[in-house]
Amino acid sequence: MYVLSLLIVGTELNRANLLFTHRITNPKLRHYRKKELLRNLLSSTSEELIYRGIVQYYLNLLIPFPLPVIILSSAFFTAQHNNKKIALVQMIDVAVFSLLITILFQSTQSIYFVTVVHIARNYFIILQKYIHSDINC
């Protein structure tokens, strides 16, 4: 499980690095990128502290079986991301990511590890959005 986890993290960090080093030519996007990356760092960290560090931790204490804990913790995380602006495909993506990150935490019990995975994934999404916006400007 650790090898698979490290492979996922390495791939996401590599993608984020490639996207981060892309030179964004639109000056408005350069300014917003820094703010959004900082917001990502704070929101990803707080989400992991809440959903893995508190919710999943206490569910593990209350429920002796890992499968219901994984499903419930993942469902809470996914429900928190549900709003009318998100398309169905994005909700499925959030649900799958939540399930994977919940399984990672269940198997590693490392809040630091899942936080880094979450931050790397969100960086990739943010930077991909800016590169797409920059190309279309």
pLDDT digits (tens, 9 = 90+) for 99-136: 999 999 999 989 999 999 999 888 887 777 766 555 55
Rounded to the nearest 10 degrees, the angle between the axes of helix 111-136 and helix 2-20 is 30
What is the average per-residue pLDDT within 72-99? 86
Mean pLDDT for all residues in the chain: 78
Burial class of 1 by CB neighbour count within 10 A (0 to 12, 13 to 18, 19+): exposed
Mean pLDDT over 21-28 rounds to: 54
Higher pLDDT, 81 or 6: 81
- What's the one-letter identity of residue 99? L
Global pTM reads: 0.73
